[in-house]
Every structure is written in C-alpha cells, then in structure tokens.
Structure 1
C-alpha cells in the first residue's frame, strides 16, 4: 500500500510530511467537536474526513513532489458524499467542494462553477487505498441532527443554514489542523488563543464592578431594579428574549449581566454583542474592558475599523488575528453588518466563525435598525439560531416590538420579555416632552436654537447640517459634528462638547444622526428633523439623559424642514411619514410601547410583505431546493450597506504623516492600515473620483497598494468645523445672521 500525504515540506525524504489519513481524521474530529451545539457532529465529521479525499490521486501526490499545475482535490469528496449518503451527502457536498473557493450555487454558475457541474466533471483516478485508511459511516446512514426541529414553510432555508454551519465547522477545522502541522514543523508557538478566564470568573469581576453602583437618583434606582429583575430571569431555558428598556435605562450592563448568568446556567460558550454602528461597538467594547479590568483581553472587537494595540508583541497579535477569524473568545462585540452578512456569506474566511455563534448568548442591540429590505431573511436567521443551534438571542431595544410576530407576518414568536413591566418603565423614565412644531425654515430653526444656551439639533443629511451650522456659527458655543470629520477629530470635538455641557457654558450643537448612535451626551433641549419614531426615541435619549431636570424644562421639538433640498431619501421619508401619523394618534405619549407598536405596524404595512425581502432571497432558497441552493447569489445580494464608500486619509498630525511617509517608502502591513483608521473619512465613490480628477487627493504608492491608501493633498478642503468639504459652497446661505 502506498503512503499518501496531505501537506509537504522541503525535505525530499518526506520524513516530516503530513500523512493524509491523519489530516482527514484530525479535521473530522475537530469539525465534529465544533458541531456539538447543534448535534450535527456526525455530519461534520464526515465532511471533515472527505474534504481532501481527492488527494488520494497520483496527480496530487506528484504535485506535492514538485509537479506544476493545479489538481482538483475537493470534488472527489463531494462526489463520494453524494454517492454514499444521498440527500444528506448532497448537503455536505456543497461545503466539501467549496472548502477552498467557497460555497457555489447548486445549479447556476457564477464566479464559481456550480456544484452540479463540478459533480459531473472528469477527475483524476481515485486510488482505492482510501477505503482502508479512513473510517466512514455505512452508506445511507446519515440523517438530520438529533432534535432538529423543522419549521413549516421554512424547511429549505433550514437545510441551507445547516449546510453553511457545517461548512463553517469544516473550514475552521481544516485551517486549524493545517496551521498546527506547520507550526510543529517550523517550531512556532501555536496560534491558538491563550487560556482565557471562564465565564464564572468574568461574572465575578462584573459583580465587583456592579457592587459600586450608587442608586442615588430616581433614574439610578430604576436602573438597579431593571438589573436585578433581568438577572433573576437568567434560568429561563435558552431561546428568544426581548429587553425593552427606554434609552438611558442601563441596557448595556443589564444585558451583559443577564448574558453571563444565562450562559453559565445553560453551558453556553460565549456572549456576542451585535451593534448597528461601529462607533457604538468601540464604545461598548471599551465599557466592557473597563468593567472586566484584568480580564479585558477576553473582549474581542470585530469590525472594519478595529485598531489593535501597536505595543502588543507578535505572538499576541497572531492570537488576536485568529480570534477575529473564528470568534474564539468569551465576549465578542461586532457590527450587525459583520454578523448578518456572515450568516449569508459563501467565502470560507467569512463563514469560518459561524459555528461559534451556536451555543452562545447573542445580544442584538437596537434590533429595530435592521434594514427593512432584508428584514425577513434576518428574522429567519435569528429564529433558526434559537430553534436549532442552542443560541439565546436577546432583542435589546427601546423600541419594541420591531421583530415580533404581533408587529409583522412571519415575525418572531415565543419572545420572552426580560424587563419588569415595560409600560411602567417607560412612564417612570419619561424625562422629555415631545411635540411636533411644524414646518420650519432654517432661519426659524436657528432662532429657536438661539433661545437656549445649550441645544442640540439633529438633521437628516450632512449638507443641511453644514448649512445650518453656517447660520448659527456666530452664536456662543456653536459646534458641528459630521461623519466627514475623521474619527479622532470627532472624538476630540465630543470631549469638548461634554466639557462645555458639564460647565454650564453655552453649547449649540448641529449634528447628523451620528450623535444618536449611543453617544452619551445630555442636553436640556433637542431639535430633530422628521425621521422614524425609533430615531426620534434615540434623539430623546440625548435630552435630560440623567433625569436631573424637571420634565417641563426638557423638550424634544420635531420639525419638518421647509427647504426642499433637505428632504430625506425616499426610504427615510416613509419612516418619517409613519412617525408623523403615530405622533398625531399618540401626541400625549409618542414613545410609549403602544405608540411604538402602532409605528411598526404602520411601517410594515406601508412597505408591504415583499419589500421586507426585497431580493426575494427566501423564495429563491425555497425554489432552488437542495439541488439548487443559491449560495453565491445570497452572498452577493445580502448587503446591509449598498452605497460604495471610499476612504480618504487626512494627514492631520505628525502621527498620521509619519505613517503616510512610511507607506510611501516601504511595504505596508495591516498595522499601518489600523493606525490610519482614526484619520480616515469615508466619501461616496462619485465624490472620491471628482476629488481625484482635480488632484485634491492622491494614492500613496499606487503601484504597490492601488487605492487602498489615498491621502488628501489639498488641506484647504478639510475644515476644523465642517470636516472634509468638496461640494460647491454656493448651497450655503451667503449671509450669516446678525444676532
């Protein structure tokens, strides 16, 4: 019998080459371990054992010895799976065939050859030795995972979801076993995460922090009551939960405490926070690290803007990179884009972490912000995680019931509320009066802002914010915030704004909705351009946040901009129309649970059922069936953010300029990209091209990096009050007000 190898080294005697059967067995065992939370260990083991079956060919073994040319080593395992195990073999075949290139469509080719075509292709002869060297279940002896529950009308979606989860187990196991082999050969320390404190240790540390919480105000006493009640619910069996607490009610730490208690009670592995905006991810991760003190390393941030600690040693950086690839940490804080797009992804790198969502407590913060065009696929994924993957999902929001079945068809059912008497909480935490003040010109709005020495005005687009700021800029304490300011600039501006507010000095802030993204700030008076009721609730959370002012002195004024240039896009206009109707019906208490429920019912009715799955993704899965799962189509169409944004680096200080200089003369690394993130502004593609055509921006070492690093050359286009501004300034009113 010949010896077959999976991986090779430079040694011609093959003494340290990896035996193929050892690799297949090890990957099968690891994949089975990863699938334990959804009882698919046997399916995952078979996928692992068969994934590199095509290496049992003379052609592949010659390639390991130096022969040139590619050899398809993935399709044989997929073929054998289908031949031996029928429908369940086909389920495994998608992942086996795609464990390097990614999941392909079942029938229609895209960037990747369709699975059906792969299975029909001619392949090198498979050597029969494999039958003696690897152990497989008898033919036809694969079935659904134990306790797998099929939901009426959603069976094909559930199978496609299971297929992707097994694919995740396979690719992570394959990566890890291959990496461990080369680590041994090259005498490298393993990149596996260091021993982490268990969840009980983290809970103990959280308890120490919470013991110092002072219940010295009515708001803090209510926060304490919410915390105690939520923690008392931790013994409930895993599944779907809601935490309906008004803005400022202490949801962040209450949800963390529940998640730790619940995970410990039910043997869950980790807590995953899913947050709509990157800025809140960073803020929440920072809060958790502060709370956990010496255990801060357990918190993993995963989003496109994450910047690691440049002082970390190389070994620590490698372990962090692995954790970001497969979410192997006790606490993950990530974006909704990262979480949901991964659940519908096709590429191995994006899917690798998915199996670690199973057996977790997932906190879905600000659940109502999920895009309506993808709402039904998102709900199907949430429901499936809770139904078959031992995952508890907490819908954590001040504006329930966004995703429940009482607000929409095919919504989530059996959602258990964790908060004590939400209606009473909303009444007790009512700190703001809300009224609609009608249509206002910019001049009228500026005059209202003038009347309060501390006021926040939130508008729907950046051009309006800049024009309005230009009007009020002569006033004491006039400030402006925009996403066109690089993050480090925004952070400094917010620190100054908070300082002014604490000191009781004039502060009149004009901002886009970025201020609503979990920014802890407290104004006595807030103005909000018409928007959805959930946005209005967030704006209200920036007014009298700590409840230190009388209700009658704290007001949120909603207005409709007179200028047609400031009309929001069509989709935002629908949100505003639904909110306007609810404000008429519930003028006495527009943020009550009853008002919120009316708002979402009206919004979903306006959109229509089909518009809640705008690309018909669920129907395509159902229609394709097992033989035609459209994995590549799903990955292409499931995009939570469609607009293409391009990064521009602002060389604002010596640190940024030093990194730019290094990039211009040497090879860049991910470290440089992360170091420049605090100086990067995202601009629309059209604006990016216009700036480049005039020479205002220029790529750094384009031959080497392409458009990865583009810096602003024309410093006149970056203003300390506006941020980056490239538009024709004629839209700004030429006359400033004389106060």
Structure 2
C-alpha cells in the first residue's frame, strides 16, 4: 500500500488513494455551491499524486515509525500539476488551458501558498518552471501507479470536461455583471480553488489523525430558523412602543425584512447611529439565509470592541451561545510553518497546523483585517478560510473603515463574493463611502439602498448639535482638561475621543488628578476582556455617578453607549458622525452637544487617513455655509467623501514599500511583464501577498495576564496531545490578547517583559507590562503586582 499518512497515536496508515478520494470529496462539497465543484474535485484528486511512490512510502515510514528523517525532502506537490499540464495543456483550447492552470496552480501551491504565473524579474514563472520540470524524481512512477487504479484516468478526463463548462459559465457570469477588468476575478477564482483544496486537505488529514469522518460543511438551516423565530418575538414586542425613535427603528427593520425576500444582491444599509442596525441587519441575514439556503452569516467589523459587543448581542437575540464564533486575531504565531508539509513537523507543530479554525461556523464575527487577509495574506493559514465567505450572507459593519489604499482590492473582492461566490452583501454604516467615485467601484444597483427616504430618516434621527471649536494653533491637553471641567459643571457624563493613544493616556492622567468625576481610559492597548469589563462598568454607572471616558476612536463605531456630551478631536466627517452616535443615543435630551476641537499635540504623521479626513472636514464641511450646521446629512457626507477621495488619491501612497506598482496591477494584467507571459493566466498573487499588509504596520498578538488570562497563560504552557482541547484554549486566549507593533515587541523583549510559550509559537506578557488602567505598557511600570510564571 502506498501511504499518505501514518497516525502518530496508533500508527494506523492512510493510503494515498484513500486520502486523494477523501480530499476530492470534501473539495467537491466546498466548490459545488459556487459552481466550481469539478475544479475543486480535480484539484483534490491530483494534489498528492506525487506520494504514489515507493520512495515516499519508505520516507514516511522512516519519519513516523523510526524517527529517521532523510536530509532531502521529496517534492510531492508538483506531480499532479505536471500531470495535468502534460496531458491536457493545448495552445489551441484557451478554456482548457485556463482550467489546467487554475487547478494546477492550486495543486503545486498547496503547501507553500500561491505562486506566480508571471515574475517581476522576467525569469521563468513559478508555474511553468514547476510543470515543465523534466527531472522531477519519481514522476513517471507516481503517474503509473495513479493511472493503475481503476477509474482514475476516466475520472480525471470527465472532471476536466466538466470544469471547462464551469469556466465558461464563470466568463459568462462576469460578462453579464458588466465588471471592469475581468482578469482580476480570474485571479480571485484561482485563489478560491486553492482555498477549497487546502481546507479539504487539512480537514481530511485532521479527521484521519483524530479518527473522525468529515461530511463537509454543516447544515445550519435549523439554527437560522430558530434564531429568526427568537428575533421576531423580540421585534414584535416593540410594536406597541410609540416612541418616535422606536417607530423609526421598526420601519427600518421591516424594510430589511422585505428586502430579505429578494434574490441575492449587494445592498447598502445606511441606518443612522442608534437606528437598531444590529437587529435590522440580522433580520435580513437570517431570513435571507433561510430562504436562499446560505451556508453561514458573517459580520466583518473594523474594531474588536464592536465584534465583542455585537457577537454577544447576536448570541442573546438568537438564544444560542454556541452558534457564534468570534475571530479577533491569531494568537498562534505559526507563519514559519507555511511551507512545511505536516509530517515533517514535530508534534506541537502538527497540532498548530491541523488545529487552526477555518470559519466553519453558522455565524462568524471577525475584523476587516482578517477579512482582507483571507483574500490577500500570503501562505495557506488564512487562505484556507476564503471559501467559507462564499454562498453566505456577509455584513460589512462600518464599511467606511476599509484602509483607503486597499479600496481597489476590497471593492473587487466584494464584487467577486457576490457575482462569483453567490454571497449576499450588506454594506452597513451610517456613513456610506462614495464607492461610485472610486477607480474600481462596487457594482451597486440603482435601488441598492434599503432605507427608504434616507434624508428624511437622517433628519428624524437628529439628536445632537455639532459645535465647531476648531481654532488656529489648536488645543493643548491642559486647555482641553479645563474645558472638560467646565462642561462637567452642567453635565454628569462626558466622552472625549482623541486620535492617538499617547494623547488619551496624557489627558486621562490630567482629568484623574482634577477629581471632578470618575475617569475611565479605553484604548486598543487593553485586551478585549478588559475593555468589555470597563464598558460594562461605565454603562452601569452612567446616570448614577459623574463619568468621564477618554478613548481612542475604538469606542465610536457600533458601541452601544450614550453620554450627555461628546468632545471629538478633529477627524473625518464619518468619524465625527460615529462619535455623535455615542451622544444622546436614545433621545433623552432634546439635543446633545458634540464639540469638535483640534489638538495641538497629536502626531498624525503615521495616520494619513485621519489627517486628510480632518483637513477635508475643516475645509469643506465645517466652514461651508451651504450645510448650515447640518453636517451629518447625506449631502454633507457625499461632499466629504468626494473631496476625501480626491485628496487621498494624491497623498496616500498606493504602492507598497520595495514595489513600484499598485497591488491590483499584479492581478489585473497591467504589469509590464504580463505582456510576455508564457501562460494564459497573468496573476502574480505570490508577489501581491508578499507586499500586502491589511494594516500599515504588522502586529503580533500577545496573551496578557489580565483576569483569566493568567490561567490561560499557565494552560498554554502545557504540552497538549488533544488538538481540540488546544484549539479551544487558543480561541479563548483571543479575549485576553493584545496586538502590538513590532517596535513595541522589540522594547518589551529587550526589557524581558515577554515570555515565549508553546515552543516559541505563542507569546505572553509578564504582569509588569500590563497595567490595570492602560493595558500594555512597554515601560514595565504596570500597577498590578508581578506574576511569576
């Protein structure tokens, strides 16, 4: 028997053909809902063809049974791609060649991440170099043994013909959607097939390791039906409430319920802040998922604070605590494992490889950074999740938070998810960005807005007055503290939102020293569990005690909390609108006051979007008599986004460091080297992924010793033999983790404030580096007692 895997616990053997059939079956199930079943099954059937040799069987026996690993690894990832190329590549049949390239690229990349069809240095492409390799050891033997199995040859031929029909349907679909530069979507298609293959491969391997049988994606329809029933019970209870805001919320919720009956599309949901967005969007998502048999519901949010709050709310609304996955960040640092097949690794590395979450949940909450990484991050780790975004309902909460430099990639990805991936999209925010003015626009229908009569609705929701206090020279922190003290003579609650963590911390100290109220600090230096506790405490004390909260912008979008007065440091009009949503949220006052000030101390040199947003707001909105103080209406917002887009195009660098081209040029065929490509496909996904960063500076997720985080740190320092148990602890650790920048990591390391765990794959802080007020402190002067590991 030719062996694919040997189980470490009992030395049970899995044959190559059993593994190929298992992966092909899973991949087929992943691909069928999006009309790519044959592509995916073909990739699964051929992905480990290179293991069909005596040499590989001997290799894996020596590695697992006798712990003797040869110095030279055996390339088993190229054979399947080469087999397709040798047998089916035909210069006179473009459709067939695209299928060969798409499936072949997934196969030869399934342990290393997608490779290039075109190189930046005009050398031979990764794909051509691999599939034309005349000196691939054991290739002829692998092909002979694969073809000797009854039915394999006929199956490949049948799948190739079926895949060609799928590819023709894909081209027709793109043409009918009137999509600009369809070659971009071919690159996404190739990454999607790759995603289905690697998830099927990892899942089949994990199931063999654990002695389980995988049936592919679960049927979540019962969960959605029960959740919809609970949601509608709550909505019906509100019908008798005559409060004007409650009536408006019900009207918008009803609009979402009506639109949910319509076929899949891309909609905008421009509900004003405080308009019941969570209930309305969930009503659409659940009803639509039931009617059109969508596999899951995915919320993409900009900040973890929104993620935590809304995930908790949705669990309560649907009365199901286990149906929702919160995916904040990757606690496990396993980037170095990307290019290593699982059997080459030590046991703990194998657990990390197989135990990753792949988003196979009914309802998922994750961040914009994680969403972008699933499409564009290098390697296999995050790409594995991509196919779970297909045939789903996807709600982009606060869509204006997409990094400006990535809007071309984001907009085309959204188009792909709908027109190819059969997903229904809600672009959900109180401040819709002007996607129609962008170079790569989202293909919206004329009637894409769900909220009827948007201007009237926005005016009806007016609960604040925006007061322009911007002045030449700006405001220092001492002056701002005095202004806050003055405001608190007439108010019992005040929220101050500043643009940088350094300013927030400085002002917090000044206000705390004044002793005019209970003062709270909020920033992303605090772990999710810490922030949640602080927010819960603030909510509990609002209306009972005098409260001042000083926060970064993390509190703006989607956090359900209300203060009498808000001070906002100058920023984009969208941020100001979000800040206003934390003032007089439920209309208890006639009009709350939101003061706009400009700080003289903040450093925005590394925050160009905030800087440009502030400049556009000051120059074209606050000083524009046309708006007559109505700064949050659709007219002002459209004006703001048009000017922001115009200025951002000039001032925000679109090309990454060490690259002379925009990232989208690497997949749209406009890179100069694409003209001389040896293949039909022009994609340079490997190069794109090498230069892509969802956020400007890379971060590392570190577990912190806050609350239960101490127990988790101790638990993660144990040796795990159960992948499920390890994965459970790793997921729980997300609530007690903070993402820190590389320069912070370096300072913490130099001060011996970081402890590596689990064979240097997970990092945690000592207690000297985590403060009960501020969270992470690189100075190591935390106010909590030191914890001995």
My pick for the range that moved more, 209-218 or 459-468, is: 209-218
Q: Does 1:496 find its partner at 2:537?
A: yes
Counterpart position of 1:446: 481
Q: 273, 279, 288: which one pairs with 1:253?
A: 279
SS in 2 for 1:148: helix
Counterpart position of 2:558: 518
Q: Does 1:117 find its partner at 2:137?
A: no
TM-score (norm 2): 0.81
Do the aligned residues in 2 keep the contact of 1:235 with 1:265 (CA within 8 Å)? Answer: yes
Q: Does 1:157 find its partner at 2:187?
A: no
Q: Distance in 1 between matches of 2:776 and 2:206?
A: 44
Post-superposition shift, 1:628?
4.6
Q: Does 1:46 find its partner at 2:46?
A: no
Post-superposition shift, 1:434?
0.6
Q: Does 1:700 find its partner at 2:700?
A: no
Do the aligned residues in 2 keep the contact of 1:281 with 1:335 (CA within 8 Å)? Answer: yes
Do the aligned residues in 2 keep the contact of 1:543 with 1:555 (CA within 8 Å)? Answer: yes
Q: 327, 343, 355: which one pairs with 2:359?
A: 327
Quick one: structure 1 residues 545 and 72, their matched pair in 2 at CA, closer, same or farther if it must change by over 3 Å?
Answer: same
SS in 2 for 1:556: strand
Q: 248, 271, 278: which one pairs with 2:304?
A: 278
Quick one: structure 1 residues 175 and 674, their matched pair in 2 at CA, closer, same or farther if it must change by over 3 Å?
Answer: closer
My pick for the range that moved more, 384-393 or 718-727, is: 718-727
Counterpart position of 1:315: none
Q: 563, 583, 588: which one pairs with 1:543?
A: 583
Do the aligned residues in 1 keep the contact of 2:227 with 2:317 (CA within 8 Å)? Answer: no
Counterpart position of 1:226: 252
Quick one: structure 1 residues 502 and 373, their matched pair in 2 at CA, closer, same or farther if it must change by over 3 Å?
Answer: same
Alignment of 1:163-562 (within 5 A): 163-184=190-211, 196=220, 197-213=222-238, 215-293=241-319, 295-304=320-329, 325-400=357-432, 402-405=433-436, 407-415=437-445, 416-439=448-471, 440-453=475-488, 454-473=493-512, 474-483=514-523, 484-503=525-544, 505-551=545-591, 554-562=592-600
SS in 1 for 2:543: helix
Q: Which runs of 4+ in 1 moved over 4 A?
A: 8-12, 188-196, 318-324, 564-568, 609-613, 625-628, 646-653, 655-683, 717-729
Counterpart position of 1:737: none
Structure 1: where are the runs of 5+ without partners? 308-317, 730-739
Counterpart position of 2:664: 618
Q: Distance in 1 between matches of 2:331 and 2:228?
A: 26
Post-superposition shift, 1:691?
4.4
Quick one: structure 1 residues 323 and 539, their matched pair in 2 at CA, closer, same or farther if it must change by over 3 Å?
Answer: farther
Do the aligned residues in 1 keep the contact of 2:573 with 2:637 (CA within 8 Å)? Answer: yes
My pick for the range that moved more, 563-572 or 451-460, is: 563-572
Alignment of 1:139-150 (within 5 A): 141=161, 142-143=163-164, 144-146=167-169, 147-150=172-175
Do the aligned residues in 2 keep the contact of 1:56 with 1:126 (CA within 8 Å)? Answer: no
Q: Distance in 2 between matches of 1:47 and 1:666?
A: 35
Post-superposition shift, 1:480?
3.1
Quick one: structure 1 residues 199 and 708, their matched pair in 2 at CA, closer, same or farther if it must change by over 3 Å?
Answer: closer
Quick one: structure 1 residues 663 and 171, their matched pair in 2 at CA, closer, same or farther if it must change by over 3 Å?
Answer: closer
Q: Distance in 2 between matches of 1:30 and 1:648?
A: 34
Quick one: structure 1 residues 471 and 364, their matched pair in 2 at CA, closer, same or farther if it must change by over 3 Å?
Answer: same
Structure 2: where are the runs of 5+ without partners? 64-69, 89-95, 333-349, 657-661, 782-789
Do the aligned residues in 2 keep the contact of 1:323 with 1:329 (CA within 8 Å)? Answer: no
Give a deviation string over 1:203-228, Cα, whole Å, max 9, x none.
Answer: 22322232333634211111111101
Q: Distance in 2 between matches of 1:408 and 1:256?
A: 29
Q: Distance in 2 between matches of 1:152 and 1:677?
A: 38
Counterpart position of 1:105: 116
Quick one: structure 1 residues 178 and 500, their matched pair in 2 at CA, closer, same or farther if it must change by over 3 Å?
Answer: closer
SS in 2 for 1:35: helix
Post-superposition shift, 1:137?
2.0
Give a deviation string over 1:221-268, Cα, whole Å, max 9, x none.
Answer: 111111011111112221211101111101111001101112222222
SS in 2 for 1:284: helix
Do the aligned residues in 1 keep the contact of 2:42 with 2:160 (CA within 8 Å)? Answer: no
SS in 1 for 2:233: helix
Counterpart position of 2:345: none
* Alignment root-mean-square deviation, CA: 3.5
Quick one: structure 1 residues 516 and 323, their matched pair in 2 at CA, closer, same or farther if it must change by over 3 Å?
Answer: farther
